[in-house]
Structure 1
């Protein structure tokens, strides 16, 4: 099995969920569950844990994960998948930071909310830029949420990528279930200790706060090979851990539902309606939603703040909250998806090609060194 159709649609729906959720928040309209964009990010996290493990399973017969060269190739692939578009939009966000903050003041003032700290949008200092370019910002509470982008989750992703090869090694020795449980217990312990020491993260950008969700995604992929029931039970327990973001009953129940739905779409396709739904999520419209999901996730707030502030400035009290949300979404979504499509063609695909070229060049150099060593050692 080289492709699982539903993954495209799930990625696309996760990004759309985040977009809708932020539109609801910034227009003062309320809808249950859809108004919780953090749950869309949790779906992204489950998908990431699954995809990294699934891709490992596909490559493990031709890649030796006991060798650091394999780790380097993995990190290079992930860097060039994430970074090119992020760096472009990070520069745009920092340049437009003051204007975006002015829009946020209009929005928060109208909605009667506390104003955001200016540095949350306007900090273009060398230290902030350096921490974001190196992805270290997620480790530091004061920098974890300090650009107009929703990039706290990118720092989290990079932390996960950093430790993933070591999780693979542990899984090779102890199995995926034991590894997922032990890593999650260790992460929760570190998160609780950090909290006790006074580290208060404005968003769960520190890997120990979300490692249990990555681990649950890993177990969904591990169940493709063996121990489906045991992986299901262990992952369900991990998803229920009340740490990392909001932990009210609604969030806990919906997270568990997201996990069970994802698991079903991957593993229970013998049930006809689940198989049809999984195939539908792999159809061309959902495929493109998935392809554009990363761009939409990154760019939408740059558009949404201006549109939401304009709607308030133009109509203020004359427009009901539902209409304000509808208009804001109707304007923001096409622009965000249009920009995502352009950036996918012009930036993301080019970045991925560059990453493959770097890996290929590194591989050729390594082969050449090995050949020279063998020739030198030959009698």
Structure 2
């Protein structure tokens, strides 16, 4: 999910066509708020109503919808943050203080709650807790150990966010970061051959000579290309290091490769939409890429065989993925077209606390439940309202006392880095 609150003043071309409040673009905050709320409702509801869980697995995944909206938002705003004229080091300082302090606090809170039997940890983590805790600290744990070792289940998407930042850093070093249309088209095209790659090529397949060859050749090729395109020798070394981190991580994704390439393609499509609003590409060209992505998502789904869901046993047809993903694309597009309008303040508030809400809500799902109805409201609905209210309340506090102060600290450090670079 995206957590950026890029100031409106930092991307002047967009500011002229998007309403901003307090230095933040309203339509992006509205998208973040609704996406976070969709994920929260999904996770709460599937705990309370098994029939809803079966529906979401077979027909429309509200939580998956929210994650794809987040990925589009990331693709839209992160390049603006990276290209605002600051150094690559300053960008990563900002990312660190945006992401890691709250994330680490969430990990510690989860372990404390587990110790008092108020939070369940996956069996993969419990089998090797020390090792997997260190893995979780990196935030690329999903690529290292997969879903069975995640302390906070919703944090898997952060691994993709971090990998996207690494890719953008490589593109910036090679001065390819503004080639958004060909990059997005390439990413969309790679969804199909990417589906042929097996999962876990590093941790699960390096005993196989073929897997070793794929990882090694891909890493060397990417490192060589970006090193050759780098502006100076120091950047070439940085490109090589980044490539040797990024490529093995992404090739080690634990799930279907088609989804991994689909996530990255979605973020690059978000970048293309940003280029439209900044005036760097024509609207026709940008929306053509958007339409191409939608068509590819729909087309690939036609070749997906209907099968029983392993968790619920319900029959999942080919329509489930395009219904969910294309809905997220269209929802983002609608908000983008409404970017000149104002949005309700409660929604903007949810957008500001969306990172806290996305992470922290998972910690309350093993909490107390209502067992009796009240004023005619069934116990399950009372529990849903209580969990959502608790998640929003706790997220407000973590935003106020952890997320925002750490972001301010990171901003002060960036100012010092910028001043040192100018001197």
Q: Distance in 2 between matches of 1:43 and 1:162?
A: 20
Q: Distance in 2 between matches of 1:87 and 1:165?
A: 24
Does the Cα contact within 8 Å between 1:23 and 1:325 map onto a contact in 2?
Answer: no
SS in 1 for 2:154: coil
TM-score (norm 1): 0.75
1:261 Cα deviation after fit: 3.0
Deviations 1:249-286 (A, max 9, x none): 133133223212322332x34xxxx86xx422xx3211
Which position in structure 1 is the counterpart of 2:293? 238
1:7-18 alignment runs, 5 A limit: 7-18=28-39
Q: Distance in 2 between matches of 1:325 and 1:45?
A: 31
Which position in structure 1 is the counterpart of 2:123? 118
Change (3 A) 1:76 1:187: farther
Question: Could you tell me which of 53, 72, 86 is aligned with 2:79?
Answer: 53
Deviations 1:161-185 (A, max 9, x none): 1111233466748731101122444
Range with bigger deviation, 176-185 or 198-207: 198-207
1:134-145 alignment runs, 5 A limit: 134-142=138-146, 145=149
State yes or no: 1:287 paired with 2:292: no
Which position in structure 2 is the counterpart of 1:373? none
Q: Distance in 2 between matches of 1:173 and 1:333?
A: 39
Change (3 A) 1:77 1:204: farther
Which position in structure 1 is the counterpart of 2:166? 162
1:269-348 alignment runs, 5 A limit: 269=338, 278-280=341-343, 283-307=344-368, 310-311=369-370, 314=371, 323-348=378-403
Question: Could you tell me which of 218, 232, 242 is aligned with 2:271?
Answer: 218
Does the Cα contact within 8 Å between 1:236 and 1:256 map onto a contact in 2?
Answer: no
Does the Cα contact within 8 Å between 1:156 and 1:206 map onto a contact in 2?
Answer: no
The CA RMSD measured in Å over matched residues stands at 3.5
Unaligned runs of at least 5 residues, structure 1 = 64-69, 105-115, 369-379
Which position in structure 1 is the counterpart of 2:329? 259
State yes or no: 1:95 paired with 2:112: yes
1:23 Cα deviation after fit: 1.3
Which position in structure 2 is the counterpart of 1:27? 48
Which position in structure 2 is the counterpart of 1:249? 319
Does the Cα contact within 8 Å between 1:171 and 1:179 map onto a contact in 2?
Answer: no
Unaligned runs of at least 5 residues, structure 2 = 1-13, 206-251, 302-308, 310-315
Range with bigger deviation, 249-258 or 294-303: 249-258
Q: Distance in 2 between matches of 1:171 and 1:145?
A: 37
Question: Could you tell me which of 88, 98, 102 is aligned with 1:71?
Answer: 88
Number of equivalenced pairs: 329
1:344 Cα deviation after fit: 0.8
1:152 Cα deviation after fit: 0.8
TM-score (norm 2): 0.68
